[in-house]
Amino acid sequence: MGHTLTEKIIAAHLVQGEENVASSAEVWPGDLVEVAVDIVLANDITAPIAIREFETLGVERVFDRDRVVMVADHFAPNKDIKSAEQCLAMRQFARAQGLRHHFDVGRMGIEHVLLPEQGLVAPGDIVVGADSHTCTYGALGAFATGMGSTDIAVAMATGCVWLCVPETIRVVYHGRLRPWVGGKDLILYTIGHIGVSGALYKAIEFAGPVIDDLSMAGRFTMANMAIEAGGKAGLFAVDDRTLAYVDGRVSRPYHVYQADTDATYAQLIEIDVSQIEPQVALPHLPENVCPASQAGEVQIDQVVIGSCTNGRLEDLRVAAELLRGRRVHPDVRCIVIPGSQQVYLEALREGLIEAFIEAGAVVSTPTCGPCLGGHMGVLAAGERAVSTTNRNFRGRMGHPESEVYLAGPAVAAASAVAGHIASPEEVQQCN
């Protein structure tokens, strides 16, 4: 019997020794194993706690100063004194430890946009992060998952974590994508189909001809939201597109793993994309999905285009295509947040930033900001936002009585122009 991609990657990272049940080079779902990790990640919210736990370990040094990554993105540039102190604690630790990859204001980006862009994650890696969207790196054919503070403290000290090998659900997409449909629409549709606990504890492997043709940005978006279906990880097989992406970015050696053709999957889901329209997830769960054209007359107050889900250059291009030459509706605040300094710069060079500002949108330095109701666009009671982020839980973007509608950049930009939830076609036809 063969193995899934997840099982192959985990097996290759087993810590040798009597600790592991699976002392052979094979692992199966349900095995509890100890593995060596390639990258350990924390941010300005989670690092201070992990650092405290690290210190109680009595360890002097992190296991490898090239492999512990810290990013100030959630409340940075600091929004208040408390967040300034959190960033300071992280900065002091990073300096004391000589961490090579500590990203502060001016060089930072949203962690899950930044790490792949900077070549810090490679195919075949195991990445653990004190952030639930660490699963984003599955787009590179890595096994990446979010964990708690104790786990991350120990991973920083030892370079190892313990894991239960998950079962894998394989989702296969075929058919022809309709105009304006991208990775966000595919993953929203999928979560609508299987539910927010449809992949609980499991890894999801995304596959099929549609995925073969999907951009890396689209794959990052899909892997990012595996957690919104309860998944432990969301992975893509490595192909030429992946290799072209990592070429010139990743400077260390890595290994490409492939699922066996006779691998065992817990579930096989086939999705024909031909009928999928641009999607929107209604409040307050990512599974409340419907086509944007059928959302009804939903007036909105704010649009957010950015985040670790859709803050990449490709996303901004899609938004600019709809905003260029049009105006943001007078009743709407449209906030565009490039996912990293590099995305920002490229968007500037391509003229996207100009198009946003001319349309009446604001453009911010990279930050998580409004995605978690932190700053830069917090909602008041009764306000509604269309957002390209990943969670629309009650109160996620501000007041508990505000509402978040999740969508891809096309629907978000179209809605910004229309003043209500709109499909891109609707806005195009208005010309």
Partner 1 sequence: MQLTGRVWKYGDNVDTDVIIPARYLNVSTPEELARHCMEGIDPDFASAVQRGDIIVAGENFGCGSSREHAPLAIKESGIACVVAKSFARIFYRNAINIGLPILACAQAVEETEKGDQLTVDLRAGTITNLRTGRTYQTPPFPAFVMGIIQAGGLIPYTRERMANDQ
Q: Give the binding site for partner 1 (CB under 8 A).
A: 18-21, 32-34, 53, 56-59, 147-151, 153-154, 157-158, 162, 164, 200-201, 232
Among 3, 67, 133, 329, binds ligand SF4 (CB under 6 A): 133
Closer CB to partner 1, residue 232 or residue 326? Answer: 232
Using CB under 6 A as the criterion, what x/- string covers residues 59-98 for binding ligand SF4?
---------------x------------------------
Residue 52 CA to its chain's centroid (Å): 26
How many other CB atoms sit within 10 Å of the CB of residue 166? 24
> 305-338 b/e with 16+ CB inside 10 Å = b?
bbbbbbbbbbbbbbbbbbbeebebbeebbbbbbb
Angle among Cα 178, 183, 187 to the nearest 5 degrees reads: 105
Name every residue whose Cβ is closer than 8 Å to that of residue 84 and which is 6 or more positions away in sequence: 78
Per CB under 6 A, does 131 bind ligand SF4? yes
Partner whose binding site includes residue 148, from partner 1, ligand SF4, none (CB under 5 to 8 Å by kind): partner 1
The sign of the CA dihedral 163, 10, 309, 249 is: positive
Partner whose binding site includes residue 390, from ligand SF4, partner 1, none (CB under 5 to 8 Å by kind): ligand SF4
Per CB under 6 A, does 110 bind ligand SF4? yes
The sign of the CA dihedral 273, 278, 283, 286 is: positive
Site for ligand SF4 in 354-383 (CB under 6 A): 368, 371-372
Partner whose binding site includes residue 389, from ligand SF4, partner 1, none (CB under 5 to 8 Å by kind): ligand SF4
For residue 100, the one-letter residue type is: R
Per CB under 6 A, does 144 bind ligand SF4? no
The tokens describing 209, both together, are 């001809």
* Residue 102 C-beta: closest distance to partner 1, Å: 23
Among 39, 139, 289, 308, binds ligand SF4 (CB under 6 A): 308
Closer CB to ligand SF4, residue 160 or residue 372? Answer: 372
Q: How far from 231 is each of 168, 226, 289, CA to CA, in Å?
A: 9, 5, 18
Partner whose binding site includes residue 392, from ligand SF4, partner 1, none (CB under 5 to 8 Å by kind): none
